[in-house]
Structure 1
Amino acid sequence: MSARILVAEDDAKQARLIRIYLEREGSAVQVVSDGRAALEKARATRPDLIVLDVMLPLVDGLDVCRILRAEHSGLSDVPILLLTARSTEEDLLLGLDLGADDYLTKPYSPRELTARVRALLRRSRRAGTEAPALLRVGEVELDTARFEVRVAARPVALTSKEFSILEALAREPGRVFTRAQIIERVFGFDSDVLERTVDAHVRNLRLKLEEDPARPRFLETVYGRGYRLADGGPA
């Protein structure tokens, strides 16, 4: 897992432990202890992945995530793994909506963290080597080369994980994907991502794609099975 990883963690003991485990995986690790330093280091070094604690001094992790996702400096799609002591659904949804790709709730095991990092890096590298393609499913259009989405000619801004989920569904429109299948395609087969993480991303996707998220026309739920992208667009 050779990669350049930025760790933003103000707990020195936790930061040291994360560094040890990631360096054992072959990664080059830089550690900062506050949000302002995280922004400066990310802009200066452009890491392959960021491990980001939510409760950081000066600028909290959620604001760091939001700021990086809004920038056009090559950091808008860098994988971000949030570390959070907050475990409510609202807190997790907020982190995902701001652009985080995955999260770990404290306390966590270092082995689980390294597994999540491996999965995020693998998916990021796979996306970078795929041939460009323009996918159209009804009124939904994805340009995988430019990382752009339009719905009925309306541009829609998605996070990297939202885009990946939508792309997986768009490549086989009408097919029902279980949550486990979405996790395997988007996060990696050895990932410990929870099924509710998929639900959270789908909820955010609907808020962005659908005119009425409560009555989706594009991203449909097949109860007892999973999700599909309607192959004909609107009914």
Structure 2
Amino acid sequence: MGKRILIVEDEESIRKFIKINLERADFIVLDADTGEKGIEIARNENIDIVVLDIMLPGIDGFEVCKTLRNEFPKLGIIMLTAKSQDIDKIMGLEYGTDDYMTKPFNPQELVLRVKSLARRMEKIEEADESILRLGPFRIDKYSRKFYKNDIEIDLTPTEYSIAKLFMDNPGKAFKRDEILNLVWGYDFVGDSKIVDVNIRRLRAKIENDPAKPYFIETVWGLGYRWRNMD
């Protein structure tokens, strides 16, 4: 694949174990044991995906995630947490994480998660040059940019994939599992709540009033749809 992966993990044994497994999967892997070092590497290297631990010395993974997401909106981020509390997972997603895994985890599952995110990003990069317009929104599939009223809005790779799926199918109601399969991939084994959190995050960026969403409608008991504005 040739994707460049950055591991930010302070436990050396875990960091080395992850690195070995990702390198066996033909990824180019860099690593850091602190958030500060991770940010420095991201700023100086052409990184595609970051595997980021929450519990780090110095600045924690949430702050690292926030910094990286602000500076590199197209970067893929997978968060690692040693805690099982749902709030940690949700907080990680709210900071802009594309996926998360709870420790302890199967290293092969992490490799599959990284591959799934890499495929999602490659699919975006291979999109055609057409411009998709719907109401006040415009997607430039070639440059992978999203606009509202001609003002660019930075979306994460996952948010972009969801917006594109909806805008390609205005008025179509999608079940949560359908969105999970079409965006994250059929081999994704995580919690379907990741769909709701990303929808909430996308609404916060594109809705005039996120508390009263107009463009992304909730279909109660089913999932979501993009309002057909034609």
Q: TM-score, normalised by structure 1?
A: 0.88
Map 1:16-95 → 2, pairs under 5 A: 16-71=16-71, 75-95=72-92
**CA distance in 2 between partners of 1:35 and 1:228 (Å):** 38
What is the SS of the residue equivalent to 1:173?
A: coil
Q: In the alignment, is the contact (CA less than 8 A) between 2:125 and 2:144 conserved in 1?
A: no
Letter in 2 for 1:56: L
Per the alignment, residue 232 of structure 1 pairs with 229
- How many equivalent pairs are there? 230
- Alignment partners' CA distance in 2, 1:17 and 1:47: 20
Structure 2 letter corresponding to 1:203: R
Using structure 2 for the length normalisation, give the TM-score.
Answer: 0.90
More off after superposition, 6-15 vs 213-222:
213-222
Q: How big is each residue's C-alpha offset from its partner over 1:187-214, in whole Å with a ceiling of 9 and x where there is no partner?
A: 1221223210001001111222223333
Separation in structure 1 between the aligned mates of residue 49 and residue 165 of structure 2, nearest angstrom: 22
Match of 1:6 in 2: 6
Alpha-carbon shift at residue 140 of structure 1 (Å)? 2.8
Amino acid at match of 1:7: I
Task: Output the CA distance in 2 between the equivalents of 1:89 and 1:206.
Answer: 21
Give the drift of 1:221: 1.3
2:7 touches 2:29 (CA, 8 Å); kept in 1? yes
1:1-235 equivalences in 2 (<5 Å): 1-71=1-71, 75-153=72-150, 155-232=152-229
| Structure 1 range deviating more: 148-157 or 173-182 | 148-157
Q: CA deviation at 1:153?
A: 4.8
Cα distance change, pair 43–153 in 1 and its aligned pair in 2 (3 A): closer
Offset at residue 165 of structure 1 (A): 0.5
State the shift of 1:101 in Å: 1.1
Deviation at 1:87, TM superposition (A): 4.2
Distance 1:70 1:223 in 2: 33
Unaligned runs of 5+ in 1: none
Query: How much identity, in percent, do the aligned residues show?
Result: 39
Are the counterparts in 2 of residues 184 and 191 from structure 1 also a CA contact under 8 Å? yes
RMSD of aligned C-alpha atoms?
Answer: 2.0
Change (3 A) 1:48 1:156: closer
